[in-house]
Amino acid sequence: MTHSIRMQNLDCYQVAKAIAVRVHEARIGDSELRDQATRAAKSTFLRLAEGLPNDGVGMRRKYFIEANNSLHEVVAAVDLASAIGAIDPSIADEVIDLSARLKPMIRGLLR
């Protein structure tokens, strides 16, 4: 796949996208947790995408902090969904592992 914008080649972009896709595909059985996890995963991806091309230090920081916060919401929603049997535990583990991979990338962007 060719990417027309350089940020699409970044590992952080690809991992955030993978999280959003995986959460969407998981079809969490609890409607409230599905909504929360899906919105948070999309927010993580989109806030990261808003921050990456931004030249303003303050605005980049704002978007990356929001992406980091949303990432933690994804983890919590998926973890709870797993605990109540609303998602396959192996899928939850995959999302949480991807999130653990993305977190230091986002934190690095905050520096």
- Please give the model's pTM, rounded to 2 decimal places: 0.94
Residue 78 has a CB neighbour count (10 Å cut-off) of 29
Instruction: Tell me which residue range forms the domain holding 78.
Output: 6-109
Contact 23, 41 (CB under 8 A): yes
**Residue 87 maps to which CATH number?**
1.20.1440.60
102: helix, strand or coil? helix
Spatial contact of 22 and 44, defined as CB atoms under 8 Å apart: no
Over 80: is that where the pLDDT of 56 sits?
Answer: yes
- Are 71 and 106 contacting, i.e. CB atoms less than 8 angstroms apart? yes
Domain count, the chain: 1
The answer to whether position 1 is within a domain reads: no
| Other C-beta atoms lying within 10 Å of the C-beta of residue 6 | 10
Q: Is residue 33 part of a domain?
A: yes
94-111 per-position pLDDT tens digit: 999 999 999 999 999 998
Does residue 36 belong to any structural domain of this protein? yes
